[in-house]
């Protein structure tokens, strides 16, 4: 067991259209907070609302790193909604000297395959077992004809944070500005 005097705080963010799920970890075992931030606006107002919601998280938790899925980050080239959030995140992170790390979706899935989880629903259930406080937030299992439950973004962010701690030995490069 490694004794750590300082466990860094990370903010894992799962980017979605006009919303993002987040999870704040202090070290690899303590989930300090998680949730969903929604901003229903378009154009300039969308970027301003996203910036405001992200700034509140950064001010409240003072993370030393932000973790984002590589595929969602790269999707910013094709989606204007995600592009505005990525621009805001890059600007705010550089203003606060916070590193941004990108994790591949395959790395997240591999982290949970080791626990016997294949689907996102199974991953969410496993997360609720790891962090019992999440049990009441667990979305119902999705049927093929149903759209995804909004809280699933929060569980995806928590999974992303755990995958970061699993793969942290390999430092991922920050995205180009």
Q: For 58-107, what is each residue's pLDDT tens digit?
A: 888 989 999 999 988 888 778 777 787 788 888 888 888 899 999 999 99
Question: pTM of the predicted model, to two decimals?
Answer: 0.85
Cα gap 18→151, rounded to integer Å: 14
What are the φ and ψ backbone dihedral angles of 78, each rounded to 5 degrees? -110, -20
121-152 b/e with 16+ CB inside 10 Å = b?
bebbbbbbeebeebeebbeeeeeeeeeebebb
pLDDT in tens, 103-161: 999 999 998 998 889 888 999 999 999 999 999 888 888 888 888 888 899 999 999 99
Contact 10, 67 (CB under 8 A): yes
Grouping H, G, I as helix, E, B as strand and the rest as coil, residue 160 is: helix
């Amino acid at each position: 067991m490694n004794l750590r005097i300082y466990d860094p705080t990370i903010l894992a963010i799962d980017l979605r259209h006009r919303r993002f799920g987040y999870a704040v970890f202090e070290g690899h075992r303590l989930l300090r907070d998680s949730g969903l931030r929604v901003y229903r606006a378009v154009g300039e107002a969308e970027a301003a609302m996203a910036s405001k919601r992200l700034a509140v998280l950064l001010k409240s938790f003072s993370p030393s790193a932000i973790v984002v899925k590589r595929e969602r980050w790269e999707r910013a080239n094709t989606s204007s909604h995600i592009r505005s959030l990525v621009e805001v995140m890059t600007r705010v992170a550089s203003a606060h000297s916070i590193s941004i790390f990108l994790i591949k979706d395959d790395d997240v899935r591999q982290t949970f395959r080791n626990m016997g989880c294949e689907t996102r629903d199974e991953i969410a259930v496993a997360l609720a077992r790891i962090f019992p406080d999440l049990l009441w937030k667990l979305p119902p299992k999705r049927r093929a004809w149903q759209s995804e439950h909004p809280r699933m973004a929060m569980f995806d962010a928590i999974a992303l944070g755990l995958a970061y701690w699993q793969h942290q030995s390999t430092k991922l490069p920050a995205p180009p500005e």
